[in-house]
Copies of this chain bind each other. A is one copy, B any other.
Amino acid sequence: MRFCPKCGHQVNMEIPDGDNRERAVCPNCSFIDYDNPLMVTGTIPLYQGKVLLCKRNIEPRFGYWTLPAGFMENGETTVEGALRETLEESGSEVTIKQPFSMVSIPHVNQVHLFYIAELKQPDFHPTTESSEVELFELSDIPWDEMAFSSVRKSLEFFVADHKSGDYGFHEDSILISTRPE
């Protein structure tokens, strides 16, 4: 951020009073830019024990398989966001069963949340965002063509829980080795 979104004045990087982090601060109107992580919400959509995956028709990770998910919007709950993204990306209507996985990805300032969901009907289709939408047996998940680590982790948790018959809530983080810590 170089300019104040409220008044258009150039901003300075400084630590506001009572704060302990550098923020963009407007010297004209005192606006402070708190830049915070984004939530991505989506589903693991199931039908008769198969899982619905989407082949990405957009960057990043064009051509790789993913679970339907996307940035949560203002004014919606995490569940509403997951339902919306599932419909937008896979053309399918689902019923939410339970929150299943939450993965923090601090180097991109994101938290990814997935719900276990059931397709109401075996209705789905390619969309603007997905060139293919397909049901996979758990034994046929294309592990080598996964778009994102959070999706891979969530599916790994799901396959493990499916084997044990006990579906819990899973939390994890993806930390890259270049992270200063």
Give A residues with C-beta under 8 Å from B: 1-8, 10-11, 18, 21, 24, 33-39, 71-80, 99, 102, 104, 106-107, 109, 111, 128, 168-169, 171, 173
Contact = CB atoms under 8 A, between A and B. Distances in A.
Q: Secondary structure at chain A's binding surface: helix, strand, loop or mixed?
A: loop
Q: Which one of A7, A21, A102 has the highest number of Cβ atoms from chain B below 10 Å of its Cβ?
A: A102
A99 B169 contact: yes
Contacts of A37: 39, 72-74, 76
B171 A74 contact: no
Contacts of A171: 78-79, 99
A13 B159 CA distance: 44
A72 B36 contact: yes
Contacts of A77: 104, 106, 173
Contact of A111 (B21, B39, B75, B128): B39
Contact of A79 (B21, B75, B80, B104): B104
A165 B37 CA distance: 34
A77 B18 CA distance: 23
Given A38-B36, A39-B36, A71-B36, A111 B78 contact: yes
B6 A4 contact: no
Contacts of A6: 1-3
Contact of A34 (B3, B71, B104): B71
